[in-house]
Amino acid sequence: MALLPYTGLFGTAELRHLLRRTLFGCSVDDLNHFNGMSLTAVVQELLTFTNNTTPPIKAYSSPGQGGVYDPALIDPVVPFGSPWPNVTRQMGTPPNPIPKRNESLRNWWTGNLVHQERNIREKLTLFWYNHMPIQVNIVFTPELSYKYCQLLRDKCKGNVPEMLKALSTDGAMLLYLNGAYNMAGTPDENYGRELMELFTLGEGSGYTQEDVAAAARIFTGWSITEGTMLAPVLPTVLFNINNHDQDDKQFSSFFDDAVVTGANTEVGAYGEISAFVDVIFGRPEAAKYICRKLYRWFVGSDISPETEADVIAEMAQLFIDEMGSPVQVETVLQALLTSDHFFGPDVRGCMVKTPSDLTIGWMRELRMPMPTPDLFEAQYNCWNRVREIMDGASQAIGEAPNVAGWPAYYQQPQYDLSWIDSSSTAARIEIKNRIMVFGFATPAQLVLPDNRNLQFKVDLLQVVAQFDQPSDPDMLLQQAADLLFGVPVSAAVLGQLKVQYLLQGQLSNYYWSDAYTTYVNDPATTDPSAMQVPQKLQSLFYDMMGAAECQLH
C-alpha cells in the first residue's frame, strides 16, 4: 500500500520538500509560517483557497509624437490603470489593442505566480494549463483567454469531468482547437481527438478513429461572435442548432458500444458533451492517465513498474471513488502529499526545476522586492521582465509550445532533463544574472513619473539576517545551502565555499564574524574588511546559484 500515510519525522527538511513541490521555491518566511504544524495541517492549508485574483489592467501605452508614451493612443475605451477583460474593444481603430491585451494577460498571470499566496492554487493552475493548454497569441482574443485562465483557477482542485465539460465550450479552447468552426456536415476532429489523446486517455489507450469522428459530431454547433464593426460586443460563445449534428453518436467497443443520443436544443447539445465526458471517465484508463500526469508534476518523472502498480493504481482508484465529488482533485492530492511515498528518499531532490520554479523560487527565497500595486505601471513592467526571462528558458507562460504542453512532461526519456539541455543553459544563467546582479529597473519613458527609473534588487544582508546566526560563517553557509540547494552537499564543499568567499583564504572564522558584525552595526564603516561584506555575500550566492545542486528540488 504505497499511499499509506507518512508517519516519519516531519521536520524542516520534510516541510521544505513539500513546499518546494507545491509552491514556487521555499523561503525562510514560508518555513516560519508553517513551523510547528503537522503534515496534515500544512497540506490542508495548502489545499484551502479560493480564486480571489483581480483582473488584469491597462498598464500599457503607445508612443506618440516625440516618442512620448500616451495610454490614450491605444485601447482608449479602457482608462489607464483599469481592468480591460469586460470592456469591448473598438474594432477597426489602429493600433490594434489585442497584442497589448494579450501581453497584459501574460504579465498578469506571471504576477500571480510571483505574488502567490501560500497555497497550491497557482502551481495547480499551471499544471492544468500544461495539461490542456491554449496559446494566447494564437487564440488572439484576450478576453476569452482570460476567462480560460480563470476557469482553470476556479476548478483546479475540483471535479475533473466537470472541468472538461466546461472546457469543451470555453471560448478560448473553441478558437484554439477549431471547435468554433466545427459544424454538422463538415465536422472538425481536432478537439475531439485531443480530448481523448492528450486530455483524458492517452494515445494508444484503445479508442478508435471512428470514436474520434463520432466525438467531433458531438461538439458541433458552438462558435464565437464579436458583433459587427458598427456594433461590437465582448467575445461571446454562441450555439446554433442548425450547425449541430442532431443524430445519435455510436462509439466503439472500447467504450462498451456507448451511444450518445442526439439533441435538438442548446441544453441538449451540452448534455451530449456531458454524456460523452462521462463515457470517457467510465474507462479506468482516464483515471490512470491523469494521475500519472499529477505524479510527474508533483513527485517525479520516473514511474517504475512498481510505482505504476502501487502508487498510480491507488491514486487512480481514489480518483474513481471520488468521481462525483466536487473536491476530486483535492482528495487525490491530499492522499499523495501526505503519503509515505511522497517523502521517500528517492523522491526528494529528484526533479529539475522548471524555469518558473527557478526564477520565481529565487525571487521568493531571496526576497526580491517588486513594485507595489499603487505603482501599477512599474509593476506590470517588472512582471513583463520576469515573464521574458522565463520565456527565454523555454517556459513561456500562456504560450505552451503546442497542445501537448511542455516537453518536460511527456517527452521520453528526457522528461524534466529537457529543461537543462544545451539550448536552455544560457537562458538559465541569464535568470541568475537578472536576479543576483542586475535586478529589475523601470524605463524612463513610462507614463507615470513616479513609476520611472525605479530599481529593484536583492538585498543579501536582509536575506542572511533571517538566518539563526549569520555572523557564524559555518551556520551561514549551511542555511544558505538549505535555502538554495535541492540536495545536501558535504561539509567539505561548504568549507571550501566559506574559505573562498567569506574568509577570502584565511582559516579563522573571526575574519568573517568581526567584519560582518562591524558592517551590520555601521554600514557606513570605513573598516576595509567590513566594507567587503556585501560583495562577499554577492560572490558567495552567485557561485552557489550556479551549482548543479541549485537546479534540483
Does residue 272 form part of some domain? yes
Do 152 and 173 lie in one domain? The reply is yes
Whether pTM exceeds 0.95: yes
State how far the Cα of 105 lies from the Cα of 392, in Å rounded to an integer. Answer: 18
Give me the pLDDT at residue 67, please: 83
Give me the pLDDT at residue 511, please: 97
Do 374 and 498 lie in one domain? The reply is no
CA angle, residues 486, 492, 493, in degrees to nearest 5: 45
Give 314's Cβ-side CA count (13 Å radius).
16
Does residue 505 form part of some domain? yes
**Grid coordinates belonging to 504:** 577570502
Do 397 and 494 lie in one domain? The reply is no
- Provide the residue range defining the domain that includes 356: 59-116+351-458
Q: Would you list the DSSP string of 37-67?
A: --HHHHHHHHT-----PPPPB----EE-GGG
Give me the pLDDT at residue 92, please: 76
**Grid coordinates belonging to 247:** 443524430
Do 426 and 450 lie in one domain? The reply is yes
Looking at the structure of the chain, the number of domains it has is: 4
> Which residues of the chain fall short of a pLDDT of 70?
1-2
Cβ of 306: how many Cβ atoms within 10 Å? 9
Do 256 and 305 lie in one domain? The reply is no
State how far the Cα of 142 lies from the Cα of 132, in Å rounded to an integer. Answer: 17
Does residue 124 form part of some domain? no
Do 373 and 454 lie in one domain? The reply is yes
Give me the pLDDT at residue 91, please: 77
Do 180 and 226 lie in one domain? The reply is yes
349-394: pLDDT as tens digits: 999 999 999 999 999 999 999 999 999 999 999 999 999 999 999 9
> Residues 299, 346: contact at Cβ < 8 Å?
no
Domain boundary among 264, 282, 300: 282
Domain boundary among 260, 282, 304: 282
Query: Quick one: 225 exposed, middle or buried, by C-beta within 10 A (0-12, 13-18, 19+)?
Result: middle
Does residue 21 form part of some domain? yes
**Grid coordinates belonging to 35:** 513551523
> Residues 286, 200: contact at Cβ < 8 Å?
yes
State how far the Cα of 162 lies from the Cα of 322, in Å rounded to an integer. Answer: 12
Long-range contacts of 121-127 (CB under 8 A, 24+ apart): 121/49, 121/51, 121/153, 121/156, 121/157, 122/24, 123/22, 123/23, 123/24, 124/156, 124/157, 124/329, 124/333, 125/149, 125/152, 125/153, 125/156, 126/356, 126/397, 127/156, 127/293, 127/294, 127/297, 127/298
Do 274 and 181 lie in one domain? The reply is yes
Does residue 453 form part of some domain? yes
Instruction: Single out the residue of 459, 457, 435, 454 nearest to residue 380, CA to CA.
Output: 454
For 140-151, b where at least 16 C-beta lie within 10 A, e where not — what string? bbbbbbbbbbeb
Do 230 and 197 lie in one domain? The reply is yes
Do 261 and 193 lie in one domain? The reply is yes
CA-based end-to-end distance of the chain: 26
Do 308 and 215 lie in one domain? The reply is no
| Main-chain phi, psi angles of 70, to 5 degrees | -140, 120
Does residue 1 form part of some domain? no
Domain boundary among 321, 343, 365: 343
Do 67 and 90 lie in one domain? The reply is yes
